[in-house]
Amino acid sequence: MEEAKRNKFPLSKGAALFVAMLASSISHGDLFDSGKVLATGGVSMIDGAGGGGITPWATITGYATKEGINGDLHYTYAPLANYTLHSVGAAVGFWDRFELSYTSSSLTTGSTFDTVGLVTDTLGGATGSLAGTPINTGIEPFNTTIDMEVIGAKVRVFGEAIYDSDNLIPQVAIGAFYKNNKNEDLLKTLKADKAKDWEAYISATKIFFPINTLINVTARYTAANQTGLVGFGGPGGSDKEIRPEVSIAYLLRKDTVIGMEWAKHGDNLEGESVEVAGLDLTSLQPTLETLGLSAVAGTLTQHESDWYDIFVAFFPNKNLSITMAYAMLGNITITPDQHGFYMSLQASF
């Protein structure tokens, strides 16, 4: 304890010195660097890390080489059938070695949970409580929103994604996200175990110039439901598991890349119903039937599908990238066929 106290001061002083050094170097302009070749900084994936659209790559975000630091601001907009995702954040790459990112996501759910809200209202009546328990589903009268903050860090461990065309060793990075989902009540309704959790990943990325192709393979250690937008874990707990993700990109021109991605998703909430005030809605089936709402319970069963996307990323210059994609996210909670367009902008300094 004493030890920790004594150490704390020099540490914070060290950090302050480091920040001061950074600030002064930036103001002198010799730490800032944008020396990567166009497009080789990649784009920003939805969790904010440098990568593809849904998968973090082993590349460090921004255009800095090992000479300096560089970063980006990113915004992603994905209007799906029942949900709309807005995600905005910033990321900094240090010496092409280390990356820090922050992203704030907001998922509006439109009318998705109105049925649940309707059932709740019907059951709870005017008192807003069920069997004496106040009902707090996290569902608003309209446009229920799920907000999530994601903090990420990534370190490049070894390898060279771009120039080592004479061997098969990929660039490898390890990274982690800490995700904080703000709509705990809705997550409880959807039976997720946790609203906050971390996940870790290892990514391997390599460009094969003779076939104009980039391949990334990632293994993510996570318990997330829909990347955490539907929380983490389920009634069976929130043990993490390893899920693979793959991106294949074809370099069409020096400023245009097309490709596809796949990310394995979990089944923590597979087949689960939604829960209101500690009661499973399927167990309320008789009640619902009496109320003439028998069809409702069947539509309240949750499923989760793997995510797929096909994308085209355009890099008009080193300060801007525009990614357009078609995302095929399948079942999200109680709604099937969540497919739709996806647009992501990245501004680099």
Partner 1 sequence: MKQLFRTIAITFMLSVAASPSFSQTGKTETYPPIDSDALEQFGGPEGVRNWVESLFYYIMLDNRINHVFREFGNIERQIYLNTQLLQLVLGGNEVEYQGASMAAAHADLGITLTQFNAVVEAAYNACERIQLTYEACNLMIAGLAPYKHAIVTR
**Complex with partner 1: residue 63 or 83, whichever CB lies closer:** 63
3-state secondary structure of 220: strand
DSSP string, 253-294: ETTEEEEEEEE----TTTT---EETTEEGGGGHHHHHHTT-H
Told to check if 66 binds partner 1 by CB under 8 A, we report yes
Least Å from the CB of residue 207 to partner 1: 9
**Complex with partner 1: residue 33 or 47, whichever CB lies closer:** 33
First vs last C-alpha separation in the chain: 43
With a CB cutoff of 8 Å and minimum separation 6, the contacts of 81 are 335, 337, 338, 339, 340
Q: Which residues pair with 324 in a beta bridge?
A: 312, 343
Site size toward partner 1, by CB under 8 A: 25
Told to check if 212 binds partner 1 by CB under 8 A, we report yes
Q: Which two tokens stand for residue 14?
A: 């060290």
Of 254, 289, 299, 343, the one binding partner 1 by CB under 8 A: 254
Cα(148)–Cα(182) distance, integer angstroms: 6
DSSP string, 135-163: P--S--SS--EEEEEEEEEEEEEE--TTT
CB under 8 A: which stretch of 30-38, 48-56, 107-115, 330-338 binds partner 1? 30-38
Least Å from the CB of residue 164 to partner 1: 7
**Complex with partner 1: residue 75 or 349, whichever CB lies closer:** 349
Least Å from the CB of residue 78 to partner 1: 30
Least Å from the CB of residue 217 to partner 1: 16
Told to check if 121 binds partner 1 by CB under 8 A, we report no
**Complex with partner 1: residue 13 or 66, whichever CB lies closer:** 66
Told to check if 65 binds partner 1 by CB under 8 A, we report yes
Told to check if 13 binds partner 1 by CB under 8 A, we report no
Least Å from the CB of residue 16 to partner 1: 29
Told to check if 28 binds partner 1 by CB under 8 A, we report no
With a CB cutoff of 8 Å and minimum separation 6, the contacts of 75 are 86, 87, 88, 344, 345
Told to check if 246 binds partner 1 by CB under 8 A, we report no
**Complex with partner 1: residue 9 or 163, whichever CB lies closer:** 163
**Complex with partner 1: residue 33 or 199, whichever CB lies closer:** 33
Q: How many CA atoms lie within 13 A of 234 on its CB side?
A: 19
Told to check if 26 binds partner 1 by CB under 8 A, we report no
Of 29, 132, 141, 210, the one binding partner 1 by CB under 8 A: 210
**Complex with partner 1: residue 251 or 288, whichever CB lies closer:** 251
Nearest residue to 327 via CA among 313, 345, 309, 343: 309
Told to check if 37 binds partner 1 by CB under 8 A, we report yes
Told to check if 251 binds partner 1 by CB under 8 A, we report yes
Question: What is the footprint of partner 1 within residues 129-188 (CB under 8 A)?
Answer: 160, 162-168
**How would you label 319-339 residue by residue, b for 16+ Cβ within 10 Å and e otherwise?**
eebebebebbbbbbbbbeebe
Radius of gyration of the chain (CA): 23
Report whether 326 contacts 307 (CB < 8 A): no
Told to check if 253 binds partner 1 by CB under 8 A, we report yes
Q: Helix count (H) and strand count (E) of the chain? A: 5, 18
User: 288 — phi, psi (to 5°)?
Assistant: -60, -35
Site for partner 1, rule CB under 8 A: 33, 35-38, 65-67, 160, 162-168, 208-212, 251-254
